């Protein structure tokens, strides 16, 4: 093996991927963590050994300090050894094409021929409206207008702390095509409990196949949503157009163009 190579290694082996620092396969990762041990040289050594156990070679404790008595904070760099076969990765994604706001409105007009009705809320204990507002409220979020600004869409925003029962009752009252459930608080997995309750109630009410059930929030992925029995899930970086693109194509797929009333579906 030559000591000096004149070219960079540029060919990534996608079957054995590891982190990139400034050279391929150097495995560089940075960690920030706290150990419940008193500040001192033993703490530094403890962090190094811990990083090794995590699979990092040559751990370097770049910085450490006392947070409070008995707790030490670390910034650690190291070279990760584990690799992943990128070619075998499968991520479930929301199907269908994503159209923008104006295109969605036109598409619904042409393909559905009636307004699409959605009802949304942040359910149960969750007092945060930021998620549901981002999707439904006229002004939307980050330059992406909300569903209230879409043509051929009627959207009801029930706000926060809405009991599942009330959300379902509203969906029945207005013959919603879809329900949007938002969950922002995730401490102790409360969002899972709330979302599960909603899915179970929909099932119990016999509505599971009659209304499209979607959820969204900062810690929600499409995969998680599907595991919980939802038709789709929308996480960070998804806006009103993503949600409506899915819903309108699903309405068409299910042949609900003329089925305005839930009872007919």
Partner 1 sequence: MKSKLNLDPKVVSSARQHAANIAHDMQEFIDRHTTVSTERTIVRLLGVDGVDEVDNPLPNVLVDHLKESGALPTGAAYLIGNAIVQTGKTPQEIAEEVAAGKLDLTKLPTCPQAEAAEALKPSIKATFERIDAQKAKRKEYLETIGEGPEPYIYVIVATGNIYEDVIQAQAAARQGADIIAVIRTTAQSLLDYVPYGPTTEGFGGTYATQENFRIMRKALDEVGEEVGRYIRLCNYSSGMCMPEIAAMGALERLDVMLNDAIYGILFRDINMQRTLVDQYMSRVIIGYCGIIFNSGEDNYLTTDDAIEAAHTVTASQFINEQFAVLANIAEEQMGLGHAFEMDPNTEDGFLMELAQAQMAREIFPKARLKYMPPTKFMTGNIFKGHLQDALFNLATVWTHQSLLLTGMLTEAIHTPLMQDRYLAIENAKYIFNNCRHIGDEMEFKQDGICQKRAQEVLAKADALLAEVEKEGLFSTIEKGIFGGVKRPFDGGHGLEGVCTKGENYFNPFIELFKDHK
Q: What positions carry a catalytic annotation?
A: 139
The stretch among 15-23, 110-118, 119-127, 203-211 that binds partner 1 (CB under 8 A) is 119-127
Q: Can residue 182 be called a binding residue for partner 1 (CB under 8 A)?
A: no
The stretch among 2-10, 31-39, 173-181, 251-259 that binds partner 1 (CB under 8 A) is 31-39
Residues numbered 145-164 forming contacts with partner 1, rule: CB under 8 A = 159-161
Applying CB under 8 A, among 112, 126, 220, 248 the residue interacting with partner 1 is 126
Q: Can residue 34 be called a binding residue for partner 1 (CB under 8 A)?
A: yes
Find the shortest distance in angstroms from Cβ 133 to partner 1: 6
Applying CB under 8 A, among 2, 6, 7, 68 the residue interacting with partner 1 is 68
Q: Can residue 188 be called a binding residue for partner 1 (CB under 8 A)?
A: yes
Applying CB under 8 A, among 197, 218, 252, 265 the residue interacting with partner 1 is 218
Q: Can residue 241 be called a binding residue for partner 1 (CB under 8 A)?
A: no
Q: How far is CA 31 from CA 107, 148, 230, in A?
A: 47, 42, 35
- Residue nearer to partner 1 on the CB measure, 92 or 218: 218
* Alpha-carbon span 228 to 222, nearest angstrom: 10
* Alpha-carbon span 230 to 170, nearest angstrom: 18
Applying CB under 8 A, among 16, 93, 139, 151 the residue interacting with partner 1 is 139
- Residue nearer to partner 1 on the CB measure, 99 or 216: 216
Q: Can residue 38 be called a binding residue for partner 1 (CB under 8 A)?
A: no
* Alpha-carbon span 197 to 12, nearest angstrom: 45
Q: Can residue 190 be called a binding residue for partner 1 (CB under 8 A)?
A: yes
- The first and second tokens of residue 117, run together, are 């009705």
The stretch among 20-28, 137-145, 170-178, 243-251 that binds partner 1 (CB under 8 A) is 137-145
Q: Can residue 261 be called a binding residue for partner 1 (CB under 8 A)?
A: no
Which residues bind to partner 1, rule: CB under 8 A? Answer: 32-34, 65, 67-69, 71, 73, 124-127, 129-130, 133, 137, 139, 142, 159-161, 185-188, 190, 218, 236
């Amino acid at each position: 093996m030559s000591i000096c190579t004149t070219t960079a290694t540029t060919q990534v082996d996608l079957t054995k991927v590891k982190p990139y620092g400034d050279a391929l396969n150097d495995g560089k990762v940075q960690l920030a963590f706290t150990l419940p041990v008193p500040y001192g040289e033993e703490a530094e050594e403890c962090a190094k050994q811990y990083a090794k156990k995590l699979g990092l070679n040559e751990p370097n404790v770049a910085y450490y300090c006392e947070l409070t008595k008995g707790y030490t904070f670390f910034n650690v760099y190291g070279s990760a050894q584990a690799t992943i076969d990128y070619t075998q990765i499968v991520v479930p994604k929301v199907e269908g094409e994503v159209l923008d706001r104006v295109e969605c409105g036109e598409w619904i007009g042409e393909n559905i021929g009636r307004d699409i009705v959605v009802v949304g809320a942040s359910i149960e204990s969750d007092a945060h409206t930021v998620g549901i507002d981002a999707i439904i409220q006229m002004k939307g979020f980050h330059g992406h207008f909300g569903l209230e600004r879409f043509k051929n869409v009627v959207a009801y925003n029930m706000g926060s702390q809405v009991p599942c029962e009330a959300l379902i009752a509203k969906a029945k009252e207005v013959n919603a095509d879809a329900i949007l459930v938002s969950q922002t608080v995730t401490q102790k997995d409360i969002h899972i409990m709330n979302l599960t309750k909603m899915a179970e109630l929909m099932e119990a009410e016999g509505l599971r196949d009659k209304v499209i059930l979607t959820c969204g929030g900062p810690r929600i992925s499409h995969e998680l949503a599907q595991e919980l029995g939802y038709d789709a899930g929308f996480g960070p970086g998804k806006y009103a157009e993503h949600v409506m693109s899915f819903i309108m194509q699903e309405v068409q797929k299910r042949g609900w163009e003329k089925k305005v009333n839930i009872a007919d579906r």
